[in-house]
């Protein structure tokens, strides 16, 4: 195998920090004109915790595709408010299904889920993006839809022409199953990789993810989203290994405060995990490699070196300028990441991978036995949302 030429003395592939994973993706080609009448039935899905103004992109696309808009709400956003605002914004042109997602919990499955018991999942119990995306996949499958289009509530510069191009490609290329559009402006990176770009001046591309993702539901069971930062990278992992993921053009997102307190610490485990796993894709090593704690020793060592280089450069940039607010904020962010890395042991990383692969099988079993339902609302009720939490137009 290819990774053997790059192995360490223990026979494990030697990890390296990468500025880009884009060579894991296939290019999008408009293979034929997309016909909305033959593209099949799809659902536009938004997992949201923001005001409806952030839904205008998805409202426009849903109206033009004539697909229902499924909005899964939490953290202060409520389904009835979304319904009222979407009615005002869309003028009745969109069939909306909006549901309130209660905090915590997982989809009921044939056997217990393993990942939620991992410490990295437990510290993110109040972040429910993965659960919303799994609810969307399951409810769309139960109602006979062919496509799910995920559009996050901070996406900009995306239009229906992009989606038609993606549908055209997937409809005429059976070996491909997903199209993603990277969010480059503003860059969609973790705190540490923002620092790698802006502080160290290194190349740092943006990869595709769940923010703008077209998923074909026919022909293959899609993966599930685990409860961890970079859950969308883990969702894509097996499809990337099979070269089934296509890259669309760059799009944008609403600018965020990258250096906000606590952000870097919450991201660190999932960032290390995803980078270590994706290295295996680059060198054609099996995912089982990551179930060995020995593999993660070098991954952690390289991550610690990256932290140290960023901190060293920040000290150089500070120079004699004491109390520079931006530099101080970046120092605090890196301190949070470094502290979290001390708790991110090789054993905990390997244990997460073991749990994730076990849950991958559980998800496939659950998904394959979902009963049919007439409407998205009926499907969501079956999946655990209370009927009173769901509104439609």
- Distance separating the N- and C-terminal Cα atoms of the chain: 54
For residue 70, being part of any structural domain is answered with yes
**pLDDT tens readout for residues 98-148:** 999 988 778 999 999 999 999 999 888 888 999 999 999 999 999 999 999
For residue 65, being part of any structural domain is answered with yes
Determine which of 25-34, 209-218, 239-248 has the lowest per-residue pLDDT on average: 25-34
CATH number at residue 308: 3.90.550.10
- Quote the CA–CA distance of 187 and 174 in Å, as a whole number: 31
Predicted local confidence at residue 123, as pLDDT: 85
**Average pLDDT for the chain:** 92
Give the DSSP H or E segment for 351: helix 346-368
- 380 near 140, Cβ under 8 Å? no
Burial class of 112 by CB neighbour count within 10 A (0 to 12, 13 to 18, 19+)? exposed
For residue 36, being part of any structural domain is answered with yes
For residue 390, being part of any structural domain is answered with no
Segment 38-47 shows an average pLDDT of: 87
Give the DSSP H or E segment for 119: helix 119-122
For residue 195, being part of any structural domain is answered with yes
Label the pairing between strands 212-216 and 147-151: antiparallel
Predicted local confidence at residue 29, as pLDDT: 83
β-partners of residue 46 are: 71
Predicted local confidence at residue 296, as pLDDT: 98
- Quote the CA–CA distance of 4 and 189 in Å, as a whole number: 30
Banded model confidence at residue 307, pLDDT cuts 50, 70, 90: very high
For residue 389, being part of any structural domain is answered with no
- Quote the CA–CA distance of 248 and 164 in Å, as a whole number: 11
Segment 346-368 shows an average pLDDT of: 98
β-partners of residue 246 are: 26, 179
Predicted local confidence at residue 320, as pLDDT: 62
Domain around 229: 2-11+19-383
pTM assigned to the model: 0.94
Beta strand segments in 217-288, E: 245-247, 251-253
Task: Collect all residues with Cβ–Cβ distance below 8 Å to 107 and sequence separation of at least 6.
Answer: 131, 134, 135, 138, 366, 383, 384
Largest CA distance in the chain: 67
> Does pLDDT of 1 surpass 50?
no
- Quote the CA–CA distance of 134 and 70 in Å, as a whole number: 13
> Does pLDDT of 53 surpass 90?
no
| Sheet strands side by side (includes 183-185) | 155-156, 251-253, 183-185
Determine which of 71-85, 293-307, 332-346 has the lowest per-residue pLDDT on average: 71-85
For residue 393, being part of any structural domain is answered with no
**pLDDT tens readout for residues 168-222:** 999 889 899 999 999 998 999 999 999 999 999 999 999 999 999 999 999 999 9
Predicted local confidence at residue 6, as pLDDT: 59
Token duo for residue 60: 């426009």
- Quote the CA–CA distance of 82 and 101 in Å, as a whole number: 13
Predicted local confidence at residue 32, as pLDDT: 59
For residue 363, being part of any structural domain is answered with yes
Token duo for residue 362: 């559980």
**pLDDT tens readout for residues 363-384:** 999 999 999 999 999 999 999 9
Distances, alpha carbon 52 to alpha carbons 89, 177, 312, 327, 351, in Å = 9, 30, 42, 34, 39
Q: What total number of domains does the chain contain?
A: 1
- Quote the CA–CA distance of 287 and 239 in Å, as a whole number: 13
Render 150-186 in DSSP notation, one character per residue.
EE-TTEES--HHHHHHHHHHHHH-TT--EEE--EEET
């Amino acid at each position: 195998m290819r990774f053997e030429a790059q192995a360490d003395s223990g026979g494990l592939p030697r990890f390296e920090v990468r500025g880009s994973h884009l060579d894991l993706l296939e290019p999008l080609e408009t293979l034929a004109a997309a016909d909305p009448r033959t593209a099949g039935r799809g659902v536009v899905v938004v997992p949201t915790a923001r005001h409806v103004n952030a839904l205008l992109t998805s409202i426009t696309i849903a109206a033009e595709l004539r697909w229902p808009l499924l909005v899964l709400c939490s953290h202060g956003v409520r389904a009835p408010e979304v319904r009222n605002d979407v009615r005002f914004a869309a003028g009745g042109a969109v069939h909306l299904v909006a549901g309130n997602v209660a905090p915590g919990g997982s989809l009921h499955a044939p056997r217990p889920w393993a990942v939620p018991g991992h410490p990295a999942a437990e510290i993110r119990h109040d972040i429910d993006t993965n659960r919303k995306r799994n609810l969307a996949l399951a409810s769309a499958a139960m109602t006979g839809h062919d496509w799910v289009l995920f559009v996050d509530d901070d996406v900009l510069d995306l239009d229906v022409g992009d989606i038609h191009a993606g549908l055209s490609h997937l409809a005429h290329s059976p070996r491909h199953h997903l199209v993603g559009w990277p969010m480059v402006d503003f860059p969609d990176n973790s705190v540490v990789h923002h620092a790698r770009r802006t502080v160290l001046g290194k190349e740092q591309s943006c990869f595709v993810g769940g923010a703008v993702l077209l998923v074909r539901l026919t022909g293959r069971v899609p993966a599930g989203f685990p409860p961890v930062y970079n859950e969308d990278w883990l969702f894509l992992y097996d499809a990337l290994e099979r070269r089934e993921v296509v890259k669309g053009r760059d799009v944008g997102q609403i600018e965020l405060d990258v250096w906000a307190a606590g952000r870097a610490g919450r991201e660190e485990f999932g960032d290390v995990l995803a980078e270590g796993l994706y290295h295996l894709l680059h060198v054609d090593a099996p995912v089982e490699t990551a179930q060995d704690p020995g593999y993660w020793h070098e991954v952690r060592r390289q991550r610690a070196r990256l932290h140290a280089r960023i901190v060293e450069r920040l000290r150089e940039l500070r120079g004699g300028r004491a109390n520079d607010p931006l530099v101080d904020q970046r120092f605090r962010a890196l301190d949070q990441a470094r502290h979290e890395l001390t708790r991110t042991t090789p054993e905990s990383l390997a244990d997460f991978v073991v749990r994730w692969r076990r849950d991958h099988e559980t998800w496939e079993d659950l998904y394959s036995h979902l009963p049919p339902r007439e409407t998205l609302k009926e499907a969501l009720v079956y999946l655990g949302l209370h009927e009173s939490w769901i509104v439609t137009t």
